[in-house]
Every structure is written in C-alpha cells, then in structure tokens.
Amino acid sequence: MIHFTTLIRRRPAVPLLVTLLPGLWACAALDEAAVGRTDRVFEAPFYVNYEPHTAERPVVVLPVVLDPVSGEPFNLAGRGQALQPLLDALNASLAASQCCRFVATHDLPALGGPAIYLGMLDGETAPDGTGIEQAVHEEYSPLILHSLKPAPEWRTAAAALAAQHGAARVLFIQLAFTQFPKADRGFFGKKVVLGTDYEVPVRFFSAVDGPIEVVALTGVLLDADGNMLRVGGEGIAGYDAPFWVQVFEAGKDIDTDALGELVKNERRDDLAGRPLKWQAALDSLLEQMTGAI
C-alpha cells in the first residue's frame, strides 16, 4: 500500500495516479499495475514522499544521467550534448562525496529506469495525460512533479546492486532541461522559485505567462528492493528572455556559452562560501534525499 504523504507545508499536493491502458491514460490506485503519478507542487522544497521511511545508510548513488527527453536530438535540437561538461562535474563531485557510495559502473539496464519530470504543466517536455489542469484563476501554469516507476527488470537489477554493496537505499539522479513558471514578488515584481531556499528575481519587462528555461536535477530514492520512496528535484539555474521575444513565443534557449559559465563560474552569492550553482543544487538534493551531505 502506498501512503500519500508530501513535504509541501502550505497545502497538500494533489496526487494523480495513472496506469497505461490500451489507447488511453486512466486513473488508478498505485498498485503493481500503476506506472505513473503526478503531484502539483505549490512551493519549495519540491519533494514528495511515496512511502514513509527513515534515513538509512549506506546509500548507493548512481552516476547522474541525462534525462532521456532532454537528450532527444530531434526534440530539443541536440541541446543534450551541451550538458556533458556539467554531467562530468556533477559525477566528479559525487565520486568525492562522503554522503553515499558512488558506483561509477554498474549492470543496470540502460532503459526502464525511473523517470521524473519537474516543471510547468504545459512545459515543452511535460508529459501528456496527467489529468491536471490549470485553473481559470491561476495566473501562472502550475508546477508539477511527475514520476514513472522503473520496469520490473530494472528494479530487480537495482535490488541486486544494493545487495552487492550492502546498501539500504539507491539514489538515481537525472539532469534535464525544463521550464518553471514565474511567481509574484511583492506587488509589482516577479520571481522564479528554483528550489530549496532558492529564488531569483525576474526582470520587470518579462511576459507574465512566459516560462523560465531551467537546468535542473531530479532524483528518486529507492529502497533495497527497488521501490520508490521519495522523488523531487532542484533547479540549478534559470534563464529568462526579453519581453518582446517572449510575446512571440520564441523563448531563449540555454546556449552553450551560458552552460559553460554555469559549469565554471556561476555561483550562489546568497550562500556561505559562494558555491557554484550546480554544486549547491546537488548538495540540496543529496540532503533532501539522504538526510545528510
């Protein structure tokens, strides 16, 4: 039995459970037949518990991989290749981390792993058939957290990996391009909430309903049997576009120069030690998933 508990403080998340039937998506209880679940997230931190659990050690963490949708060259014009330097930096940090046992090579299937989408309901990589709709009174597209369960073969392999390393938990992390909605900041300003204790202002001349392009991390914490316990994510950095570009729905893609700056130079000035933005996001994800960094 799945217990629907979340970490959203102000209002409960609204879970939707979907199972794939011939030709359609349908609501269902989250049992062995269910493959997906969608939650609306109303504020940071962007995490949802699927099962009550405690922080247990050790935790095996797999190398960060590119979200499959972000890596589809025909969908996002090959932007996934630009993320390789960031992937390398993230995995080097995980290899040096004391929080988990980093397993650089493993025999898990390349396909069939868990999948997490954190982004706008109507984002360009948003899943179809979530059953969630933007209410008439909502000025901004809602933020959703959508997950797909791993395939049985992947779960079996993950359980074997956990047993091999004597681990109580397995942490699976993805890097993705996504889109976050804007939010109000005071009476006249706008902002984007990117993650745990992390929000940045948006320029005044910015389309109200235009999205913010975001580079983000998502994670899934699994137990020793490969069952999903907790899902969530952190935005690393967001990129806006001028109003005149947004009104024509052209948007501003995150270019390779911006990604290079993100890997080497962009820092969180609001945090002690001014860590790189990607490092701060990874640390927050590890803390939220494992209880310590």
pLDDT reading at 96 higher than 60: yes
pLDDT reading at 223 higher than 90: yes
pLDDT tens, residue by residue, 225-254? 999 999 999 999 998 864 434 444 444 556
pLDDT reading at 123 higher than 80: yes
pLDDT tens, residue by residue, 126-171? 988 888 888 888 888 899 999 999 999 999 999 999 999 999 999 9
pLDDT tens, residue by residue, 204-218? 655 666 789 899 999
What mean pLDDT is predicted for residues 103-109? 94
pLDDT of residue 293: 47
pLDDT tens, residue by residue, 11-61? 334 455 543 333 322 333 344 455 889 999 999 999 999 999 988 989 999
Which of the pair, 8 or 255, is modelled with greater confidence? 255
pLDDT of residue 72: 61
pLDDT of residue 124: 86
What mean pLDDT is predicted for residues 89-110? 95
pLDDT of residue 2: 31
Q: How far is CA 291 from CA 15, 99, 107, 146, 285, in A?
A: 24, 9, 27, 22, 10
Contact 90, 278 (CB under 8 A): yes
pLDDT of residue 285: 98
